[in-house]
Amino acid sequence: MSDNAVTSCFEGENLPDLGCIDCDIHPAVAGLDCLLPHLDEPWKTMAIERGLNRDSWDSSSFPPNVPALCRPDWRTSEGQPGSRPEDLIRHGLEPFRSRAAILNPVYAVQSIADEGMAVAFGKALNDWIAEEWLPFDRRLHASIVVTPQNPVAAAQEIERLAPNSRFVQVLMLSSSGLPLGRQYYWPIYEVASKHKLPIAIHCGGNYAFPPSSLGWQSFYVAEYVDHPNIFQAQILNIITQGVFSKFPDLQFVCSESGFLWLPHFLWRAIKSWRGMRFETPWVHKSPSEIIRDHFRFTLQPIDAPPTPEIFERVFEQIRSDEMILFSTDYPHHHFDGIRALPSGISQTLAQKICVDNPLMTYPRLQELQR
């Protein structure tokens, strides 16, 4: 397949007239100095005395100067792309006529080894979003960033912020210290389920463990292409560990996971579950049914097929048009202009992806229907 065949899928601009709901958009933390006013003592003094505010806390291994890190037209003359609310609104919302956007700040609080510091920095990150971003525009909503180094404290952070209806989900990372189905994480799931907050599993990790079954990769391209395998392992672990037997209403959103791998993954999961279901008698339904009921996937970045017909065939194969949620992944460079949706798909499917599916996934966005 040629590069032109891949990119030709993005020639249309078939966004719904009533506006999209962007389920994965990234405000950038320009530096730890941004969080210092929101950091409790003694952690604020400790951060200053240790000089932590001089370090980069980006939690991505993505090469910082590679063009794909940010679209050229989304770069600014001052500051990191996406580090100012006005830039995010101008570049990430207005061109797509977005009626709402969910802020996912991917910052390194999940990678701090000290549990107390991780919890304190996570709280400061959430307060920074609540106090400096959400008041800027009513279209902005947010994720509660939790630090799984201490699941009990993470559950308490959800309880603290749940009364703020502008927080619409909980944010975790895909490359975790333990598989996400383990009961270690269940305090987080219990509180999220109680408040009807989906759990977003975003691509990334604390890099304390190799993000590959082969160990550490030598090149980023190998790590990046391998990310869907991490999501597949996490999804099956969540199912087989019985998370949905304990929390039957819990929803997960896989962000930046891709989704065109779903057909073969579902078929393999069904086949193996049928042959070995005696191992997990608490899994009462086929993995494909559970995934259709409990998992959603953001649109960008998409592994684009060469024709719209192949794209829509994927929906036929997974037997659902309710699993994909619109996203731009601003400010990262996956498409040009406002071509976030593949061209040639029906307006009905575009409406489902951009509006209907997000509204069904996020109960706190139901007010947008009015």
Output the pLDDT for position 62.
Answer: 64
Angle (CA) 269 184 258, round 5° = 40
**Helices in 169-285 by DSSP H: which ranges?**
186-194, 220-225, 227-240, 243-246, 262-276
Question: Scanning the structure block, which residue is given the tokens 């580090």?
Answer: 83
- Annotate 13-27 with b (16+ C-beta within 10 A) or e (fewer): ebbbeebbbbbbbbb
Q: Which residues pair with 253 in a beta bridge?
A: 200, 296
The amino acid that residue 269 corresponds to is A
Query: Quick one: pLDDT at residue 5?
Result: 35
Q: What is the pLDDT of residues 181-240, one digit of tens each?
A: 999 999 999 999 999 999 999 988 777 777 777 777 778 788 877 788 899 999 999 999
Pairwise CA distance, residues 309 & 342, whole Å: 11
pLDDT of residue 215: 77
CA R_g for the chain: 20
How many C-beta atoms surround the C-beta of residue 257 within 10 A? Answer: 23
CB 290 within 8 A of CB 245: no
Structure confidence at residue 183 (pLDDT): 96
* Residue at 238: amino acid letter: I
Pull the structure tokens for residue 368.
């947008």
Domains and CATH numbers, the chain: 3-369 (3.20.20.140)
- The phi, psi pair for 165, rounded to 5°, reads -70, -10
- Please state the pTM of the whole predicted model: 0.90
Nearest Cα neighbor of 253 from 196, 348, 172 is 172
d(CA 301, CA 203): 11
Say what the pLDDT of residue 3 is. Answer: 39
Q: How far is the C-alpha of 339 from the C-alpha of 349, rounded, in Å?
A: 15
Residues in the chain with pLDDT values less than 70: 1-14, 16-18, 55-65, 67-68, 304-306, 368-370
Question: Both tokens of residue 170?
Answer: 């909980």
**pLDDT in the model for residue 18:** 65
Per-residue confidence (pLDDT) for residue 14, from 0 to 100: 66
